Amino acid sequence: MAIVLLILTAVVIVVIAFYAIGHAVGSTEAMPAQIVVDVHEAIEFCAEALPVEVTSVLSYDELRRLLRLHLEWIQAYHWSPEGRPGGPIVFEQFDAIDYVMERVQITGLDATREQAAAVIQAHSDYLQVMGAIHIDDPVKVDGDLGELPLLESADLDELTPGDSDG
């Protein structure tokens, strides 16, 4: 009798353990892919992507600080929490530059607006290559729309709601 009770207890424990492990694995699988950004790799990528007139002025430490300010802007103003409905986050191109330049003045970092813009562009390119962000090129989108055929007047009549008597 005691052996049956021990076996039954062991089976119940194993079933509970399998259920708990299955639940944990299912939760982990549902999470979005985690992107790990290596600071040194980001600095190297951006340093190589920046134009010569920027790299000849900025040191690696200044570049690192500008990258940190850009990440600060992303986290503070445009971070999408897990499960946030509403689709992609849209922001103006100059929002990041304005924020970074404000923080440059506060922190006493010696960088111009043009240098900050170049660093932000290189950093955005790095984050896009890493898969951390997705940026649609508006020029490309407009170009794609421009390649669509024009609607004929008969097609316009079908699309226009209202009375066709005139």
Domain ranges of the chain: 39-78+91-136
Which pLDDT score is estimated for 156? 45
pLDDT of 38 higher than 70:
yes
Average pLDDT, stretch 39-66?
92
For 109-122, the DSSP string reads ----HHHHHHHHHH
Give the largest CA-CA distance in the chain: 92
Percent with pLDDT over 90 in the chain: 44
* DSSP code, position 59: -
Average pLDDT, the chain: 79
Please state the pTM of the whole predicted model: 0.59
Nearest partner of 127 among 13, 42, 62, judged by Cα: 42
